[in-house]
Amino acid sequence: MKEISSPRPSTGLPHRRLCLAVDVEQYSRFDTRTQSAIQSELVRMLDEAAALTGLDRAAWKRQPQGDLEFAVLPDATPEDAVLGPFVHHLAVHLGDRNARPAVQRVRLRMAVDTGVVADAALGHAGPAPVAVARYVNAPQLKAVLATLTAADLAVMVSDRLYQDVVRSGQRALDPEHYVRAHVRVKEFGGYGWIRVPGHTPQDVRSAVTQAPKPKPLPEADAPSRTPLSQYVRQGAAVGRDVVGGLTVGLPVPPPPAGSGPTL
């Protein structure tokens, strides 16, 4: 009997890249023919939004998953261009598509983060792919689309990107347009920032409050008691699951003055 060999892990070294995921909301409600058409339309809209932004989609390392595309963008991709013009063009194309008569409406959730990525046997591994998978499925992002029924696109960026890129004001990115959300999905926890093109921060903030509150982690699974900006159990991201373990966060602050060592 012929032995079936298992996939060999990639020898690629980890590197820092911008990661992006776009997911179709309530995809399973469409029939097979419509799902196939939506997948083609999603690729076309991403291609056109990237071209108008000056981004080379041919250089993206894409990992399609049916109703979702995950992508690792090339080194030196301007992060502000992705968060600004690319999101704008995607929202416009999506709105134009949904305005066509007799078309079934498509709504999208999008997540963006930057961090360590490594090529792996079944796609990509590292904190950034895992974080993007969690952000795009965050209850708050889903609650925003469920509440703001006129919205076609909801975007969540990581706290890291918000602090480093959005708050710098590059490409007219306005920090006031983003609403912070505490995301806890599976073994991931951290802060993300939500923006909905065409809607005010007040609208988004009201919608975020409709999301279920994150449940506290069991004591055995909880990270350090030190407040963290983000933590994630790192491992191989296969589809939307993760295995392995590593905690990532802010440096541990020094102990208060006068406190002795704990025995």
Per-residue pLDDT of 151-195, as tens digits, reads 999 999 999 999 999 998 777 799 999 999 998 877 778 899 999
Percent of the chain with pLDDT over 70: 75
pLDDT (0 to 100) of residue 231: 41
- Of the candidates 192, 61, 191, which has an alpha carbon nearest to the alpha carbon of residue 118? 61
- Rama region for 53: left / alpha / beta (φ>0; ψ in -120 to 50; rest): alpha
pLDDT (0 to 100) of residue 186: 75
Q: Rounded mean pLDDT of 76-83?
A: 95
In a domain, 206, yes or no: yes
Percent of the chain with pLDDT over 90: 54
Phi, psi of 28 (to 5 degrees): -70, -15
In a domain, 178, yes or no: yes
Range of the domain at 206: 17-237
pLDDT (0 to 100) of residue 26: 87
Q: Rounded mean pLDDT of 51-62?
A: 95
pLDDT of 98 > 90? The answer is yes
In a domain, 2, yes or no: no
In a domain, 219, yes or no: yes
pLDDT (0 to 100) of residue 48: 97
In this structure, what CATH number is given to the domain that contains residue 177?
3.30.70.1230
pLDDT (0 to 100) of residue 219: 53
* Residue 213 Cα distances to 90, 106, 150, 181, 221, angstroms: 30, 27, 24, 10, 18
Distance CA 174, CA 135 (A): 20
In a domain, 262, yes or no: no
pLDDT (0 to 100) of residue 237: 39
Question: To the nearest whole number, what is the mean pLDDT of the chain?
Answer: 80
Q: 175 or 122: whose pLDDT is higher?
A: 175
Q: Rounded mean pLDDT of 41-67?
A: 93
Alpha helices in the chain (DSSP H): 32-53, 79-81, 87-98, 127-136, 139-147, 159-164, 201-208
Q: Rounded mean pLDDT of 233-253?
A: 37
Q: Rounded mean pLDDT of 105-129?
A: 88
The model scores a pTM over 0.95 = no
Q: Rounded mean pLDDT of 113-142?
A: 88
In a domain, 5, yes or no: no
Number of domains in the chain: 1
In a domain, 232, yes or no: yes
Residue 127 pLDDT level (bands cut at 50, 70, 90):
confident
Residue 66 pLDDT level (bands cut at 50, 70, 90):
confident
Q: 209 or 71: whose pLDDT is higher?
A: 71
Asked if residues 210 and 146 have their Cβ atoms less than 8 Å apart, the reply is yes
Structure tokens that stand for 3 in this block: 């032995």
pLDDT of 86 > 70? The answer is yes
In a domain, 26, yes or no: yes
Residue 74 pLDDT level (bands cut at 50, 70, 90):
very high
Q: Rounded mean pLDDT of 38-45?
A: 94
